[in-house]
Structure 1
Amino acid sequence: MTLDEFTALHEISQTKYRYLRGVDTQDWELLRSCFTDDASVWYNQGKFTAEGADEIIARLRAWFLPVVYSSHIALQPEIQLTGPDTAKGTWRLQDIVHFKGPVPDPVRNLTGGEEITGAGYYYDDYRRVDGQWKIARTGYVRLFEQIARRAGRDDVEVKGVDERGVRKAP
């Protein structure tokens, strides 16, 4: 492996980590910067799809705000450089998502108070644009998804923090 190839793998990993931080902190500008303009997503076996970076952000923003608090972890990257400016990646996904109110999800009937814990694999295509590695296509397939509903969980309280993990400058 050359130094340039090693550097590319590191930069791609950094892009994925910024993407996850953008999702969880709901930093839409950061998240948008991770995508190519013509990016596409297909989450949860294609139950949620969007084409174009601006549409992706608009749809995620509408779905997440103001009631979703999430934590996504991507592990065990397998990244293959497929050309000088293209790559593919597979990442293990683990996530926890709290719903403090209803969300527009006709498949799961989320009325608020639910918690989803899941695992799966992300499948990504990357493209280098103006020297920056970006996500051109991403999606995930679940290994499992556990939905804990409010019934029987009345003693559990999830408190969302307004800062959503974003450090304010001292």
Structure 2
Amino acid sequence: MSSAMTNERLARLYDRIEIQELLYRYARGVDRKDWDAVRAVYHPDAFDDHGNYKGDIDGFIASLQQRHAHIEQSMHVIANCIIEFDTPDSALVESYFITYQRVLPSAGDARANYFLREPLADDEAVQGQAIGRYADRVTRRDGVWRIEKRAVIYEVYRGMPTIPGGRLRDNWTISSRDGRDPLELLRIELGLGEAR
């Protein structure tokens, strides 16, 4: 194999790693309510079709902020990532996701969107699980890979009543979505992140 072919294959492998990390940064940003991190994975003129929201990124971020104001816990798991390059600077990316989110009683009637049983008690949270795929058009501009267009393809949604707090114990290390997550604090301590 020629050195030119080797360099090209290494460059493509590096592109794949950057694109996969883009997806992981999206998941971390949503799960920690770090909206600047979410915005950073999209091109400024990107389009997102998330089902209930279809539009530009400013509107998407606003919709996330509104919805996640009542989501106590969120975890996105990204899997099965297939990247197909159509040019050196663009690719179609299909990645599977599983999302777990606990919607607080403060969401009121909006909890019915996550759980169809009637009625929910006033003090019940809803633990939801969404399973689906992201279909992303990603492009590299000025040397940076970002999402240009996203469509969320849903496969399954399940919701069940639960209590706020998720039955976690006080002596466990608990996640946080307000900038004080144990990992976020460690990143700040190591100089890998900034307080928000």
Give the TM-score, by structure 1 length: 0.83
Residues 167 and 41 (structure 1), Cα distance of their counterparts in 2 relative to 1, 3 Å cut = same
User: Are the aligned partners of 2:100 and 2:128 in contact in 1 as well (CA < 8 Å)?
Assistant: yes
Would the aligned equivalents of 1:127 and 1:134 in 2 still touch at CA under 8 Å?
yes
Q: Which has the larger radius of gyration?
A: 2
Q: Which runs of 4+ in 1 moved over 3 A?
A: 103-107, 109-112, 153-160
Task: Report the CA distance shift for 1:119/1:109 in structure 2 as closer, same or farther (over 3 A).
Answer: closer
DSSP 3-state at the match of 2:107 = coil
2:34 counterpart (20, 27, 41): 27
Amino acid across the alignment from 2:184 = R
SS at match of 2:58: helix
Supply the distance in 2 between the matched residues of 1:119 and 1:99 (Cα, whole angstroms): 17
Match of residue 63 from structure 1: 67
Work out whether residues 101 and 128 of structure 2, in 8 Å CA contact, stay in contact via their aligned partners in 1. yes
Structure 2 unaligned residues grouped into runs of 5+: 1-7, 169-173, 190-196
1:146 aligns with 2:158: yes
Q: Counterpart amino acid of 1:75?
A: A
Counterpart of 1:129 (choices 141, 145, 157) is 141
User: Mind listing any 5+ residue stretches in structure 1 that lack a counterpart?
Assistant: none
Residue 108 of structure 1 corresponds to 113
How many pairs are equivalent? 165
Q: Which residue of 2 aligns with 1:73?
A: 77
Contact map agreement 1:24 1:164 (CA 8 A) in 2: no
- 1:115 shift after superposition: 0.7
Q: CA RMSD in A?
A: 2.7
Letter aligned with residue 117 of structure 1:
Q
Contact 1:92 1:122 in 2 (8 A): yes
Whether the 8 Å contact between 1:40 and 1:138 is mirrored in structure 2 is: yes
The separation in 1 between residues aligned to 2:88 and 2:165, in whole angstroms, is 54
Which residue number corresponds to residue 41 of structure 1?
Answer: 48
The answer on whether the counterparts of 2:138 and 2:147 sit within 8 Å (CA) in structure 1 is: yes
Asked whether the equivalents of residues 77 and 91 of structure 1 are also in contact (C-alpha less than 8 Å), the reply is yes
Instruction: Say which structure is richer in helix.
Output: 2
Mapped partners of 1:5, 1:146: distance in 2 = 38
